[in-house]
Amino acid sequence: MRKLVVIGVGLIGGSFALALRKAGIVDRIVGVGRSRENLDAALERGIIDVAHTLDDNWAAELASADVVLVAAPLAQYPALFATLAPAIGAKTVVTDAGSSKQDVVTAARAAFGDRLPRFVPAHPIAGSEQSGALAAVPDLFDRRSVIITPIAETAPEALACVSALWQSCGARVTTLSSADHDRLLAAVSHLPHVLAFVLVAELAERADSSEFFGRAGSGFRDFTRIAASSAEMWRDVALANRDALLAEIDRYGDALRSARQLIEAQDGAGLADLFERAAAARRRLDVSPGGDAKGQGSL
């Protein structure tokens, strides 16, 4: 690959660039982003060779690009796609790293026209609560999952290209429909992020919040680690996957009310059963594939 363009050189885009560089399969990496400061950090760290802010004529880089990765917050996709789609070359493959997929496919359909076969929607299940080019690391995707959600129009060679690139990053690639992706991730990623944000925000707004945070142990720290994640990114995810997320919040609210009733009724047997079912399932997860994943990674 001669030329990779990364739009959004943050934790994900920057780590993708570093991983492909480490694998030795890309000559030249162009970074595109909103913030000059972040791009300069990416240049300084050797993540990218050339930097353009969104005000520059970055689209001029696209005709000769082999691959374009869009790794920006989801709300920026429609505008980015509108600029990008008409400017890519006939052989350019475009992919993304967004945490929801149906809305990304909708945005791609609206922008790509007859170039839609060149677009491969994807989502690396990796990251951390950190963000920006300074947080990027080459092994972020090592042994992590990447879900590709191809659509009927996706060109097989474009799909194969994106799949191979992620495998070069050390990732395990699987495919799902966009709808299945959004339904599953709403439950195991988007809901937990909302739950963690809500808990920390609720404590933080108390007049005596420092008394509470001062008693937090590492259980609390692990539970709320994802609440340190990018607010902008997660605002966009919550809105992009709104219907599935609302359904999960409602389901969770019902389950929490049931648990509350057990506590209120002092139903020890019911509580022990509930907690034991959770503990058994959670312990199984630790011995499942990927179960050795510890800290620093995130959905």
**Closer by beta carbon to a second copy, 153 or else 232:** 232
CB atoms within 10 A of CB 49: 17
The phi, psi pair for 23, rounded to 5°, reads -75, -10
- The tokens for 169 are 């990053």
Alpha helices in 92-190 (DSSP H): 102-112, 156-168, 178-185
Binders of a second copy in range 258-287 (CB under 8 A)? 259-260, 263-264, 266, 268, 271-272, 274-286
**Closer by beta carbon to a second copy, 57 or else 218:** 218
User: Residue 223 Cβ, how far from a second copy at the closest point, in Å?
Assistant: 5
User: Residue 80 Cβ, how far from a second copy at the closest point, in Å?
Assistant: 17
- Does 18 sit near a second copy (CB under 8 A)? no
- Does 238 sit near a second copy (CB under 8 A)? yes
What is the three-class DSSP state of 68? strand
CA distance 253 to 139: 37
**Closer by beta carbon to a second copy, 21 or else 190:** 190
CA distance 166 to 252: 33
- Provide CB contacts within 8 A for 44, sequence distance 6+: none
Please say whether the beta carbons of 91 and 132 come within 8 A. no
**Closer by beta carbon to a second copy, 59 or else 134:** 134
What is the three-class DSSP state of 36? helix
Question: In the set 53, 76, 167, 230, which binds a second copy (CB under 8 A)?
Answer: 230
Question: In the set 1, 59, 134, 293, which binds a second copy (CB under 8 A)?
Answer: 293
- Does 2 sit near a second copy (CB under 8 A)? no
Number of residues that bind a second copy (CB under 8 A): 96
- Does 78 sit near a second copy (CB under 8 A)? no
**Closer by beta carbon to a second copy, 68 or else 185:** 185
User: Residue 28 Cβ, how far from a second copy at the closest point, in Å?
Assistant: 31
Binders of a second copy in range 190-229 (CB under 8 A)? 191-205, 209, 211-229
- Does 164 sit near a second copy (CB under 8 A)? no
Helix, strand and coil content of the chain, in percent to the nearest 5, comes to: 55, 10, 30
Binders of a second copy in range 122-161 (CB under 8 A)? 125-127, 129, 144-145, 147
The phi, psi pair for 32, rounded to 5°, reads -125, 135
- Does 177 sit near a second copy (CB under 8 A)? no
- Does 169 sit near a second copy (CB under 8 A)? no
Please say whether the beta carbons of 167 and 99 come within 8 A. no
3-state SS record for 143-166: CCEEEECCCCCCCHHHHHHHHHHH
